[in-house]
């Protein structure tokens, strides 16, 4: 492989598991993180301990200048072969009639605009139209996009619905230029994201509602992400792939 994979939000959770799995697949990994430098450094150290190559780059995907910096650092590391748009946020449980404009702006800026801006930078580098050698983009959506998350966070669900639509559109836009674009829709996965939404035990509490009767692990999601990043998926684009235990 030997090309570079950028994983936004690669310091914890699904992003961390994806960074480790991408390195195993042979990618040199750029581990993006928002603020937890120690966690990002730990991912880099784990990759290097297995003879892989990785660097950590601070990048809040809600800030365009940070995204430009992330891609500049990646340019110095090698040819970009893959982007995983993993960074994403939830917020406190709330009904729509309780949501502030600030909350909605953050949700859409990080989850939607951030992913589209990262894809823009990736396409500029990967597209054969721009002299690139092709590549792969994987977007992290959520089954929330299909469930709507009423009474929990409809705004988050809507942001992931936008990711699904963006995935289909971008895939069709750049398929002939050598870029495959797909999305993964995780279900209830055991990561810190539930604590950041104010309820650390949320995934376990709802495990009974999953047809498989359990939550998923970050590694189970990462397995699907790296399959889409691999040559095994060479004819797969515009696909939205549920990793949700049947939810």
CA distance 9 to 119: 15
The two three-digit tokens of residue 7, written as one number: 């994983």
Identify which of residues 37 and 133 has a Cβ nearer to ligand NAP in the complex: 37
Q: Annotate each residue in 109-138 with x if it binds ligand NAP (CB under 6 A) or - if it does not, as one string.
A: -x----------------------------
Identify which of residues 132 and 245 has a Cβ nearer to ligand NAP in the complex: 245
CB 229 within 8 A of CB 27: yes
CB of 202 to ligand NAP, least distance (A): 8
CA distance 26 to 2: 6
CB 159 within 8 A of CB 142: no
CB 93 within 8 A of CB 154: no
Q: Annotate each residue in 64-103 with x if it binds ligand NAP (CB under 6 A) or - if it does not, as one string.
A: ----------------------xxxx--------------
Q: Using CA of residue 114, residue 225, residue 14, residue 243, what is the dihedral sign?
A: positive
Identify which of residues 110 and 171 has a Cβ nearer to ligand NAP in the complex: 110
Task: Please tell me whether residue 15 binds ligand NAP under the rule CB under 6 A.
Answer: yes
Pairing of strands 135-140, 54-58: unpaired
> What is the CB neighbour count within 10 angstroms for residue 13?
22
Q: Which stretch binds ligand NAP (CB under 6 A): 22-30, 57-65, 95-103, 123-131?
A: 57-65
Residues of the shown chain interacting with ligand NAP in the complex, contacts defined by CB under 6 A? 8-9, 11-15, 32-36, 39, 59-62, 86-89, 110, 140, 142, 186, 188-189, 191-193, 196, 203
């Amino acid at each position: 492989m030997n090309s570079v994979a950028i994983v936004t939000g690669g310091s914890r959770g699904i992003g961390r598991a994806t960074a480790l799995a991408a390195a195993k697949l042979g990618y040199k990994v750029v581990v993006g993180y928002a603020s937890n430098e120690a966690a990002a450094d730990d991912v880099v150290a784990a990759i290097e301990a297995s003879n892989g190559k990785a660097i950590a780059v601070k990048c809040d995907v809600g800030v365009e200048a940070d995204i430009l910096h992330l891609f500049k650092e990646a340019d110095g590391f090698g040819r970009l072969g893959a982007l995983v748009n993993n960074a994403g946020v939830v917020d406190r449980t709330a009904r729509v009639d309780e949501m502030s404009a600030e909350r909605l702006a953050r949700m859409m800026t990080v989850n939607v605009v951030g992913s589209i801006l990262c894809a823009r930078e990736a396409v500029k580098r990967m597209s054969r139209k721009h002299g690139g050698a092709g590549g792969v983009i994987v977007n992290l959506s959520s089954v929330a996009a299909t469930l709507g998350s009423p009474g929990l966070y409809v705004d988050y669900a809507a942001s992931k619905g936008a990711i699904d639509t963006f995935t289909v559109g971008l895939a069709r836009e750049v398929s002939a230029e050598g870029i495959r674009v797909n999305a993964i829709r995780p279900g209830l996965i055991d990561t810190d994201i539930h604590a950041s939404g104010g309820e650390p035990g949320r995934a376990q509490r709802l495990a009974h509602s999953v047809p498989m009767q359990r939550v998923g692990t970050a590694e189970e999601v990462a397995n699907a992400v790296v399959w889409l990043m691999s040559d095994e998926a060479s004819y797969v684009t515009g696909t939205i792939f549920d990793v949700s235990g049947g939810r």
